């Protein structure tokens, strides 16, 4: 059974870069067939898909964030990462990493709250 765990700084200053990593266990990212997503959720709101990446490094980003977002994958460590630059208070949210196949995202990490504040 796949398990995902997000980790990274919980507090980020405005204008700086938010960086999170997702460690995957139970399945090898390199086995292929899945995409690996980042999704965030503002308090009291529905989740918001940010983007996803394949094991070969091909990534697809939410258009409104495309200029600020970068995803990467490290198959040797079975991890994938998110970088969101020039953060503002509105980027404060719970960030989830997740696994998907086709149009179905089936497994999520527990999520980590990242606060943007000086």
Binding-site ranges for other proteins (CB under 8 A)? 37, 39, 45-49, 51-52, 60, 62-63, 96, 100, 103-111
In the complex with other proteins, which residue's Cβ is closer, 15 or 115?
Answer: 115
Strands 35-41 and 59-61: unpaired
Instruction: For the CB of residue 106, give the shortest distance to other proteins in the complex, in Å.
Output: 5
Q: Six-digit token pair at 12?
A: 């980020």
In the complex with other proteins, which residue's Cβ is closer, 4 or 29?
Answer: 4
* Other beta carbons within 10 Å of 36: 24
Instruction: For the CB of residue 61, give the shortest distance to other proteins in the complex, in Å.
Output: 8
Q: How far apart are CA 17 and CA 41, in angstroms?
A: 18
Instruction: For the CB of residue 16, give the shortest distance to other proteins in the complex, in Å.
Output: 25
CA-based torsion, 81, 95, 85, 9: positive or negative = negative
DSSP string, 13-38: -TTS-EEEEEEEESS-GGG-S-EEEE
Residue with tokens 């989740």: 47
Instruction: For the CB of residue 90, give the shortest distance to other proteins in the complex, in Å.
Output: 15
In the complex with other proteins, which residue's Cβ is closer, 55 or 108?
Answer: 108
In the complex with other proteins, which residue's Cβ is closer, 63 or 76?
Answer: 63
């Amino acid at each position: 059974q796949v398990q995902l765990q997000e980790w990274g700084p919980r507090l980020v200053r405005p204008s700086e870069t938010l960086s999170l990593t997702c460690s995957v266990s139970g399945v090898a990212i390199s086995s292929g067939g899945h995409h690996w997503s980042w999704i965030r959720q503002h308090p009291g709101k529905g989740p918001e898909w940010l983007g996803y990446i394949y094991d070969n490094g091909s990534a697809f980003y939410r258009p409104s964030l495309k200029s600020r977002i970068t995803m990467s994958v490290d198959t040797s460590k079975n991890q994938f990462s998110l970088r969101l630059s020039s953060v503002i208070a509105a980027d404060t949210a719970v960030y989830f990493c997740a696994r998907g196949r086709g149009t179905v995202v089936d497994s999520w990490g527990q999520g980590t709250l990242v606060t943007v504040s000086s």
